[in-house]
């Protein structure tokens, strides 16, 4: 109440008080603001569920706890949720970053038991039930680790330094600026040899991300290059998709994989399979066996690894830097810490390598954990988590997609429509759905969608610096 009175009298005091009396008052205001911020970390009579990460999994946990007798605190290093499946369209300039992101505060604005803070969580202290964060130490009754994954360079420092990853919006924007700047620079070069590394794109990793990016780049070459850059020739731009596996879209059916390969090669992508990258120095990518390609555009989508705060025992971190959880999604050896989504490894007879790193796993685990927490609080029995595989979709380009929906497998135009529909309904926010839909219609009709602006200069040197903050967000 006194806080309320303090605020109400602010305006009057600022108008009437002499300057020397304002100073102590300002200090009191600052104290009040800090108190407001810290109130998110105060304890109430309800158990506190802290969710680290507002991705696909974290969103579900928080949403399913709406109206339940718990206090929910979500922490994320960004204040928005990222719809990663459309990152490649941000990177290739056909969508603006805002249309695939959604404010976490806005998403939960009507949820009374929900609080959010921007914070990077650095360490978990399971023995004290606290976490260390960039905004201080925070205690929890139940902790949900939903921190997702990051790019895995498999320890190759040179590749990490010079190749471009695409796991977040800042990285997708870096990639977009890098592509556009290299196209601009190519227009200034006189000879074919000088243009070659600027106009050669090498995508390492032929999973869905690599395939979708390769398709999008091929479409830029086939439909946009000569319109936007009349100085350049279509034949001068090369797109390579490479993988050490013998097929593209490894986890998909052979039928889908074969069709995706045909789509890509028809669009002019050079697909190199059974090829292992040896090194990349920012100019030349070398493969085992001696093959080399000159390129200033190497994009790495060959693997991910779990991203997590420190503090957990090394014994429970398994292959792919993931946290070993039991069939209740509980971190092994703990009673009140859960891990879900990309960061979790639930090793069972059915899933000896854990579940795949896809949005549906995170979504289903998120819903399950919210339920499990309430059952645990109420002393009710819990059931083990069971993943229901709804199938896989990947698009290669206009009218070209592949769909493996259980036993039903189809490719081409209808799969492309299904792909668009599923992605549209899965996007957060009505405005985003409308904007993306309009963009897609515009691109379909004009063959020339997106604005392709260089809003800020991309600086490779800053990215290549060893500072992890710069390399992630520059």
Ligand X SMILES: Cc1cc2nc3c(=O)[nH]c(=O)nc-3n(C[C@H](O)[C@H](O)[C@H](O)COP(=O)(O)OP(=O)(O)OC[C@H]3O[C@@H](n4cnc5c(N)ncnc54)[C@H](O)[C@@H]3O)c2cc1C
Q: By CB under 6 A, name the binding residues for ligand X.
A: 52-58, 75-78, 84-85, 87-88, 120-121, 146-148, 166-167, 208-209, 307, 309, 341-343, 357-360, 362
Contacts of residue 352, Cβ cutoff 8 Å, sequence gap at least 6: none
**Tokens encoding 329:** 């999604």
Q: Least Å distance between CB 308 and ligand X?
A: 7
Beta strands 297-300 and 200-204: pairing type? Answer: parallel
Q: What is the 3-state secondary structure (H, E, C) of the chain?
A: CHHHHHHHCHHHHHHHCCHHHHHHHHHHHHHHHHHHHHHHHCCCCCCEEEEECCCHHHHHHHHHCCCCCCEEEEEECCCEEECHHHHHHHHCCCCCHHHHEEEHHHHCCCCCCEEEEECCEEEEECCCCEEEECCEEEECCEEEECCCEEECCCCCHHHHHHCECCCCHHHHHHHHHHHHHHHHHHHCCCCHHHHCCCCEEEEECCCHHHHHHHHHHHHHHHHHHHHHCCCCCHHHCEEEEECCCCCCCCCCCHHHHHHHHHHHHHCCCEEECCCCEEEECCCEEEECCCCEEECCEEEECCCEEECCCECCCHHHEECCCEEEECCCCEECCCCCEEECHHHEEECCCCCCCCCCCCHHHHHHHHHHHHHHHHHHHCCCCCCCCCCCCCCEEEEEECCEEEEEECCEEEECHHHHHHHHHHHHHHCCCHHHHHHHHHHHHHHHHHCCCCCCCCCCCCCHHHHHCCCHHHHHHC
Task: Say which of 171, 196, 212, 371 is annotated catalytic.
Answer: 212
Relative to beta strand 114-118, strand 71-76 is parallel
- Is residue 212 annotated as part of the catalytic site, yes or no? yes
Q: Which is nearer to ligand X, 53 or 429 (CB)?
A: 53
The nearer residue to ligand X, 85 or 197, going by C-beta atoms, is 85
Burial 17-46 (b: 16+ CB within 10 A, else e): eeeeeeeeeeeeeeeeeeeeeeebbeeeee
Q: How far is the CB of 297 from ligand X (least distance, A)?
A: 17
C-beta of 260 vs 362, nearer to ligand X: 362
Residue nearest to ligand X (CB): 55
Residue 52: how many other CB atoms lie within 10 Å: 27
With a CB cutoff of 8 Å and minimum separation 6, the contacts of 301 are 151, 165, 166, 203, 204, 205, 207, 209, 210, 213
If the CB atoms of residues 68 and 167 are measured against ligand X, the closer one turns out to be 167
Q: In the complex with ligand X, which residue's Cβ is closer, 172 or 199?
A: 172
Q: Which is nearer to ligand X, 195 or 423 (CB)?
A: 423
**Smallest distance, Å, CB 306 to ligand X?**
9
Query: Shortest Cβ distance from residue 340 to ligand X (Å)?
Result: 6
Q: How far is the CB of 357 from ligand X (least distance, A)?
A: 5
CB closer to ligand X out of 15 and 388:
388
* Closer CB to ligand X, 208 or 429, in the complex: 208
Nearer Cβ to ligand X (201/287): 201
How many of the other CB atoms lie within 10 Å of CB of 376?
A: 17
Minimum CB distance to ligand X, residue 293 (Å): 23
Question: Looking at the annotation, which residues are catalytic?
Answer: 212
């Amino acid at each position: 109440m006194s806080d309320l009175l303090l605020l109400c009298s602010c305006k009057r005091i600022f108008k009437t008080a002499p300057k020397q009396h304002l100073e102590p008052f300002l200090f009191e205001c600052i104290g009040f603001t800090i108190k407001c911020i810290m109130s998110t970390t105060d304890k109430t009579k309800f158990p506190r569920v802290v969710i680290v990460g507002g991705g696909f999994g974290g969103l579900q946990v928080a949403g399913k706890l709406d109206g339940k007798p718990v206090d929910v605190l979500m922490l994320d290093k960004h204040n928005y949720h990222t719809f990663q499946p459309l990152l490649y369209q941000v990177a290739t300039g056909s969508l603006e970053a805002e249309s695939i992101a959604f404010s976490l505060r806005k998403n939960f604005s009507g949820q009374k038991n929900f609080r959010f803070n921007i914070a990077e969580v650095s360490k978990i202290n399971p023995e004290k039930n606290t976490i260390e964060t960039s905004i201080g130490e925070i205690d929890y009754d139940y902790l949900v680790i939903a921190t997702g994954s990051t790019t895995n360079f498999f320890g190759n420092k040179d590749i990490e330094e010079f190749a471009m990853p695409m796991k977040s919006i800042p990285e997708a924007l870096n990639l977009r600026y890098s592509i556009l700047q290299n196209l601009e620079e190519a227009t200034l070069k006189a000879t074919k040899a000088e243009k070659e590394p600027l106009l050669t794109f090498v995508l390492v990793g032929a999973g869905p991300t690599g395939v979708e990016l390769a398709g999008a780049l091929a479409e830029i070459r086939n439909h946009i290059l000569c319109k936007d850059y009349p100085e350049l020739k279509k034949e001068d731009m090369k797109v390579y998709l490479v993988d050490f596996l013998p097929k593209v879209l490894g986890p998909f059916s052979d039928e889908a994989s074969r069709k995706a390969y045909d789509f890509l090669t028809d669009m002019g992508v050079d697909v190199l399979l059974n090829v292992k990258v040896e090194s990349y120095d920012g100019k030349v990518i070398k493969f085992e066996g001696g093959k080399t390609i000159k390129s200033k555009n190497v994009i790495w989508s060959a693997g991910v690894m779990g991203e997590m705060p420190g503090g957990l025992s090394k014994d429970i971190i398994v292959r792919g830097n993931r946290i070993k959880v039991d069939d209740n999604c509980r971190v092994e050896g703990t009673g009140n810490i859960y891990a879900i989504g990309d960061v979790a490894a639930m090793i069972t007879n059915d899933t000896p390598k854990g579940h795949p790193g896809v949005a549906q796993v995170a979504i289903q685990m998120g819903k399950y954990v919210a339920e499990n927490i309430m059952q645990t609080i109420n002393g009710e029995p819990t059931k083990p988590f069971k993943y229901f595989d709804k199938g896989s979709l990947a698009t290669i380009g206009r009218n070209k997609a592949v769909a493996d929906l259980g036993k039903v497998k189809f490719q081409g135009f209808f799969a492309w429509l299904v792909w668009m529909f599923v992605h549209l309904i899965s996007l957060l926010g009505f405005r985003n759905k409308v904007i993306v839909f309009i963009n897609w219609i515009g691109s379909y009709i004009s063959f020339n969608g997106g604005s392709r602006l260089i809003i800020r200069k991309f600086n490779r040197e800053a990215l290549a610096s060893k500072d992890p903050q710069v390399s992630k967000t520059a």
